[in-house]
Amino acid sequence: MASQEGRYYSDISSIEVAFSPEEANRKLDSGYELLKIEIISAEQSPEARRLAFVLGRKKETTTAVSKPAPHPQAESSKEITIPESIPWTQKTEGFAWAFASNKDGSPIEEYKGFVERLKLSPLERDGYRYSISKDGKFLQRVKVEAKK
């Protein structure tokens, strides 16, 4: 079992843990990738459950296919892009859904990054609140009223 875990993390140079979606998003903006989300709970107090976001930074590679590391300022100013190719199915006037993965469970490459971002926390943009279902199989889009 340990050898499998070593292979999985063999390209990770550093690991960080964040305890809020905001902190995790800052790390993601600075070049970290989400490795997993854990629930930390106190044995005697179920209310004390917290999420822990485990993030890792990949080792720099020098292969011809690797992209140069983005400038940190450019990365932090980059907004989350909501892929236009998502085939939303309108369920009610204010609610639509779409599959988050292929039928075989594999990620849909065109919006893999968007799905990973929604696993951290919902996103509000352009009058909609985007989220992912609890089982991770469906993307959800709900119309939100403009804040006054």
Q: Can you give the residue range of the structural domain that contains 102?
A: 89-143
Percent of the chain topping pLDDT 90: 16
- What does the pLDDT read at residue 86? 92
Task: Tell me what the mean pLDDT of segment 82-87 comes to.
Answer: 90
- What does the pLDDT read at residue 43? 65
Lowest mean pLDDT among 13-22, 76-85, 136-145: 76-85
Count: domains in the chain:
2
Model-level pTM? 0.48
Which strands make up the sheet holding 123-125, listed edge to edge? Answer: 89-92, 95-99, 138-143, 128-132, 123-125
**139 vs 77, which has greater pLDDT?**
139
Say whether pLDDT at 75 is over 70.
no
Residues 137 and 94 in one domain: yes
Say whether pLDDT at 10 is over 80.
no
Q: Which residues pair with 138 in a beta bridge?
A: 99
Residues 95 and 119 in one domain: yes
CB of 55 within 8 A of CB of 108? no
Residue 148 in any domain: the answer is no
